[in-house]
Amino acid sequence: MTLKIVSGILIRSSALVADGFHSLSDLATDFVVLVSARLSSRPPDETHPYGHKKFDTLATQVIGVVLLGVGFIFVWKAGMQIYRGEVSYPGFLVLIVASVSVFVKEVLFFLTRKISREAHSTALYANAWHHRSDSLSSLAVLFGGIASLFGWGHADHVATIVVGFMIMGVAGKILYDGLIELSEHSADQESIQKIEDILNQESDVFDWHALRTRKVGGELFVDVHILVKPEISVRESHEICGKVEERIHRELTKPANILIHIEPHEKE
């Protein structure tokens, strides 16, 4: 962040300064993720019996709003500079700074995405894409710098606009995914299909219905009614539930909170 902002001011590159403030927003969202991780990892209590995982989702919304605002400001300022006829020739230094930024941010993107999948954290996954958007914006600055070396005075401003729209696009996806999760959306179709296959394959389950799923942060909640022999004991019914739960836990990639309701299978 410091490298890009200071260099951008010295060589009068609005694209590089914009890219530096993008990195500043990246740093701010890192702190948002840290706070949300602390809050969402707290165990269930009397006021939050289902846990605090939605803090993770709320954090993604904060990240999305910040990115949207940052992207809009870049587009507006660069557009006004072009309208006023301002030109910029930042020189060769912009290529060096932008190249360093692309490399560092790509490393951060792959590391953060890997850990977000292991931790099942939507906020961390959103922040990984914030790193990627920073990398892409630096790439746009790099191409703008190359074009300016060939004499195009508006190249730096155009690169800023490209950066802004990239950031806004990432923000839109993050906000959309977060709103879907906050609206108690069901699990993805692949996860639902796996659950249905497990229920159909379990020999002690004669039938099932009322399967419901919902995502809460990085966790998946599953409710289902299963039909078993009416003459078996409570212990046997409990063991059947245990087998079904174990298979669902093993097959799904996300942690699952499973509630199974037992019903007697009445012969027709």
- Check which CATH number belongs to the domain holding 35 and give it: 1.20.1510.10
Is the confidence at residue 225, as pLDDT, over 90? yes
Considering the domain architecture, whether residues 256 and 155 belong to the same structural domain is answered as no
In the prediction, which pLDDT does 211 show? Answer: 92
Q: Can you tell me which residue has the tokens 């296959």?
A: 197
In the prediction, which pLDDT does 218 show? Answer: 66
Considering the domain architecture, whether residues 118 and 193 belong to the same structural domain is answered as no
| 60 neighbors 178 (Cβ within 8 angstroms) | yes
Considering the domain architecture, whether residues 38 and 167 belong to the same structural domain is answered as yes
For residues 40-52, average pLDDT:
77
Sign for the pseudo-dihedral over CA of 151, 152, 154, 160: negative
Domain that holds residue 222: 189-264
Q: How far apart are the first and last CA of the chain?
A: 71
The band of 88, judged by pLDDT with boundaries at 50, 70 and 90, is low
| pTM, two decimal places | 0.63
Beta-carbon count within 10 A of 67 CB: 28
The phi, psi pair for 153, rounded to 5°, reads -70, -20
Q: Give me the amino acid identity at 232.
A: I
Domain stops at, among 123, 153, 182: 182
Domain stops at, among 126, 155, 182: 182
Percent of the residues in the chain that have a pLDDT greater than 70, as a whole number: 96
For residues 108-120, average pLDDT:
85
Considering the domain architecture, whether residues 110 and 43 belong to the same structural domain is answered as yes
Distance of CA 157 to the CA centre of its chain: 29
Considering the domain architecture, whether residues 43 and 168 belong to the same structural domain is answered as yes
